[in-house]
Structure formats: structure tokens, C-alpha cells
Structure 1
Amino acid sequence: MNIDVQKMMFKSRDEAYAAFSSKLIPGRDDLLGVRIPILRKLAKMIIDEDEWNEYLDTWEPHHLEDYLLRAFVISYVKVDVDERLSLFKDFIPLIDNWSVCDSFSNTWKPKENEKEKLWEFILPYLESDDEFRMRYAATIMAFHFVDEQHVNDIIRSLDTHHNDGYYYKMGAAWTLSVCFAKFPDITYDYMRNENRLDDETFNMLIGKIRDSYRVTDDMKSKVKLLKR
């Protein structure tokens, strides 16, 4: 490759930012401290130089940023939806923290004619019983599918798929809070009637709703009364 990825990342490292970020990602002490906008720019450079295939073929992760960079490359590269989802399938098992998961989920913006393939692609990950694969599916729902067509399917899917992992619970709660912000009546009815969320996830959902700037004070007061 003409682009020396490791050299460019080390050149852009920020040790103070690495120290701050590592506190937010438990169990990871391999951060360089390269900020997300710089990694996004580097990913686009790799693609513009037509070196993305070689980059993926020779990819060896040493730092958290290597995972983020790969996530951005496979999200930005111009390929058809089937090839992209194949690249995603190879990458998803490598996700082991919320930072990579959420940055990855939020990067590719599917076209309308690609969204149903993405929807079908993510559903099996809810069956995986893996904390971060399940969080990936939940966050994809939040970023791309909270609309009239999918809101009831999202609620039903997250209501029936559970995992003891904190980061899945928080991801599911956040996604349902986005549903509440956009479809308050539907989501409130779900919350106040019989549902199968565990108490921790349910109370996380209430907290997310009450933190939202998109929810009225009246609705925040109503959901507070539902706390378990």
C-alpha cells in the first residue's frame, strides 16, 4: 500500500484523548487517541486511492482505532448492498465494545431500496445471544428504522430478545426511547401494558426518555410513574 496507515495514525495520536476515552470503554487499554473525524478522513483516503481491498486483505489490528478504521472503510466504500453486507458479516464478530459498535452502526446510510435487505440482515443477530451482536442490531434499528413501517416490529423484536449484558440492555433501551420520541403514543401504550422487558432495561428506557429533548415534560412525568 502507498498509504502507511499505522504511521498516519501514530502521527495523529492524542495521549490525553486516549486516556479520557479509555475510561469510557472498560477493558480496553489499546487506544492511540486518534479522533473519529481523522479516522473517517483516513478511511476515505484509502478508498479514494483504491487501496481498500489491499487494506482489508492485510489488516492486522493493534489498537482500537484499527477496528474503527476498518468499520469506516467497509461503510464508505462504493459497492452494491450484497457485497457490503458480506463485508459487514465478516466484521461484526470482531465487535467487543460499544464505541466500535455504535460508530459502525451510524456510518453507512442505506438507500431506500437497500433498507429491507439491511433489516433482514440484522434480525438474526438478535438471536445470537451475544451482547454486542445484539447491540449492533438494536442500534441499527435506532439509526435507520424508526419509522411507521418498522416501529411496531422494533418494539416486538426488542421485547422478545433479551441478554444479560449491560451494553445490549442500554442499546435496547436507547432504541426504544427513540421510538418513544417519534411515536410516543405507540411506545407509551407498550410500556404501560404488559411487556417482557426486564426491570433494569425498562428503567433504563425511562431514564433515556426523561433525558430526551424530544419528549414533552408531560410525557416524561407519565413515564416516571411507570418506574419499577
Structure 2
Amino acid sequence: MDYTLIKWNKKNYEIFIDELKKLQDEKYKEFHNKVIGAEVEVIGLRSPIIKDIAKKIAKGDWKGFLSQKKGKYYEETGIRGLIIGFVKADKKIIKEYIEKFVDEINNWGICDSFIGNLKIIKKEKEFFYPLVKKMAESDNQWKIRFGLITLMSYYTEKEYINETFKICSAVKNKEYYVQMGQAWLISTLFIKFRNETLEYLKNNTLDNWAQNKAIQKIRESFRVSEEDKELVKSFKK
């Protein structure tokens, strides 16, 4: 199939899914199932293959592709998300598709790979910030994680740091991947804004588990001095 030329409809979309299955790597499928740790059906395709397909679709009838009914496969959903990051379109249109796609996220792998490919946010931080903040303030675990990991990926800058601390503390959701998102965000901020993050670790309303996991991740980092690794231990809750 030439993904750049197809005008997508139900029939050729079904053929597309069959084509994906033919590319299956059984060993990778077993490995990926363990890594994802979620109840999703995995075909077993490596990331370079998925990205290459998404890039080609993004150059063609990408809106037609995304209008097809969402299927059940991990890779299928992953391709949909990657396309949104690859398309050349107005930022307002991309924002609309981001909002729609976040509703499809049901595991950390799709969430984080989607965010990693949204390079437009890096270029348009101010425009996308209200959306990112709104997601982090949601009551849906995957929207919250989307907000937290996007802040970590694109907003670790001086002008956003105080607001980021507030957003992180305001999250009260106890789901594992939400709290891991909080911990990852704080540990990343520590590397870039050591003094500010030390003050935050001294006084915040973070859940005990999230605070202690953040400290663990700081201590595991190769970019943190041995002195600071010992220092942050004193802030365990």
C-alpha cells in the first residue's frame, strides 16, 4: 500500500490492519506485552516501522485515516497519535486533534510516545499551555499523565516552574501511572532547577508515595551529585 496516496475508507482501512499483521515480530510482541503491562492487544511491531508508516500517512489523507473508527490494536492507536505529531497543519487544527486523541489513550506507552512526537508544542509553548494545564487538572488518569509528562517534556523552563510545582501538588489522583508522572516530572526539574526543586521537596502537598518516588528517581540519576543524592534522602515522607 502506498500510504501517501490512499483515500481512506472502511475497506482499505481493514486492508491496512491486515498489512500491519503481516509485519508482526512475534518475539517483540512478547517483550512489548511485558513492558506495556496493560490489557491492550499488541500486534508486535517495532517503533521504527510504526513511525515510518505514520510519517507516510501524515503526508497524504491523514484526516481520512483519523476519521476511521478506532480499532483495538496498540500499534493502530500508536500510529494515530504519531500522525498528529507529523502532520503539517495549523496549530489550532492540531490542538483539536490532540484533544480528541487524548480520549483514546488507555496506557502509558501510547501516552508517552504521543507526547514525544508533538514537537509543535516546543515551538508553540504559550499557545498549547492552557490545554496542557487543563489536562493535568482533569480527573482522568491518562489526561493527567498527558499533562504532567508534557510539562516535563516541553515546559521545564524558568517561567513555568512555579506553576508546574502548583499543578503537580494539586494532583490527588492515586493511580500508579499518574503518581509516576509526578515523580518523573519532579526528578527532571531537580536536574535543571536544583535549588527551586529542593525548596519544593521541603514543603509541598505531594502524596507520600509520589514524593518518595521522586526522591528515588533523583537518586538514580547519573546527573545528580553524590552529595545531593544524600541530601534529598532527608526529604522522604
Task: Tell me which amino acid in the other structure corresponds to 2:35.
Answer: L
Q: Equivalent pairs: percent with the same residue?
A: 30
Contact kept in structure 1, 2:121 and 2:154, CA below 8 Å: no
1:83 aligns with 2:93: yes
**Aligned partner (choices 138, 163, 170) of residue 160 of structure 1:** 170
2: distance between equivalents of 1:74 and 1:144?
Answer: 17
Q: CA deviation at 1:153?
A: 1.2
Query: Following TM superposition, by how much is the alpha carbon of 1:31 offset from its aligned partner in structure 2, in angstroms?
Result: 0.4
Match of 2:231 in 1: 222
* Cα distance in 2 between the residues matched to 1:25 and 1:96: 11
| Alpha-carbon distance between aligned partners in 1 of 2:96 and 2:106, rounded to the nearest angstrom | 19
Task: Summarize the alignment of residues 30-109 of structure 1 with structure 2, pairs less than 5 Å apart.
Answer: 30-48=41-59, 50-109=60-119
Q: How does 1:106-145 map to 2 (within 5 A)?
A: 106-110=116-120, 114-145=124-155
Using the alignment, how far apart are the partners of 2:142 and 2:88 within structure 1?
A: 26
Letter matched to residue 14 of structure 1: D
Distance (whole Å) between structure 2 residues aligned to residue 110 and residue 58 of structure 1: 24
Query: Secondary structure at 2:103's aligned position in 1?
Result: helix
Partner residue of 2:21 out of 10, 29, 35: 10
Of the three residues 25, 31, 42, the one matched with 2:36 is 25
CA distance in 2, matches of 1:34, 1:112: 28
Please give the residue correspondences for 1:165-204 in structure 2 after superposition, counting only pairs within 5 Å: 165-192=175-202, 194-204=203-213
Q: Which runs of 5+ in 2 are unaligned?
A: 4-14
Tell me: CA distance 1:144–1:112, structure 2 relative to 1, closer, same or farther (3 Å): closer
How far off is 1:6 after superposition?
1.8
TM-score by structure 1 length?
A: 0.94
| TM-score computed with the length of structure 2 as normaliser | 0.90
Shift, 1:59, TM fit: 4.1
Aligned residues, how many?
Answer: 226
Q: 2:216 aligns with which of 200, 204, 207?
A: 207
Give the Cα separation in 2 of the matches to 1:218 and 1:40.
Answer: 41
Alpha-carbon separation, structure 2, partners of 1:111 and 1:204:
27
Q: Distance in 1 between matches of 2:126 and 2:193?
A: 21
Q: CA offset at residue 214 of structure 1?
A: 1.6
Return 5+ residue gaps in structure 1 as ranges: none
| CA shift digits 1:29-66 (9 cap, x unpaired) | 41011111111110111122x12122112243131111
Cα distance per residue 1:67-116 (max 9 Å; x no partner): 10000001110011110010011110111110000001111112665111
CA distance in 2, matches of 1:60, 1:152: 38
- Deviations along 1:116-141, one digit per CA (max 9) or x if unpaired, are 11111111112221111100000000
RMSD of aligned residue pairs (Cα, Å): 1.6
